[in-house]
Amino acid sequence: MTATSPPGPADQPERYVGLETGEAERQARSRGWRILRSVPPGAMVTMEFRPGRLNFEVEADRVKRAWQG
């Protein structure tokens, strides 16, 4: 038997680009994202896809890029 993760929220990650990190996290949680990960530009991250995770690339406390997984 294999367990599967529920899909992530029906949301568009690009809507978070330009927001301050704290505001982006608040909005993401209110829209149903279960796991949030903030990383600096160029950081090495695992490539494991997790449907309920939203990733933020953050520089100077602003989201530069956002993607699911």
| 34-46 confidence digits (pLDDT tens) | 999 999 999 998 8
Look at residues 64, 56, 65 and name the one whose alpha carbon lies nearest to residue 29.
56
| Closest among 55, 60, 59, 69 to 25, alpha carbons compared | 55
Q: For residue 12, what pLDDT is reported?
A: 94
Q: What is the pTM of this model?
A: 0.84
> pLDDT tens digits for 1-60?
445 556 778 899 999 999 999 999 999 999 999 999 999 999 998 888 898 999 999 999
Separation of alpha carbons 43 and 15, rounded Å: 22
pLDDT of residue 5: 58
Contact indicator for 30, 15 with CB cutoff of 8 Å: no
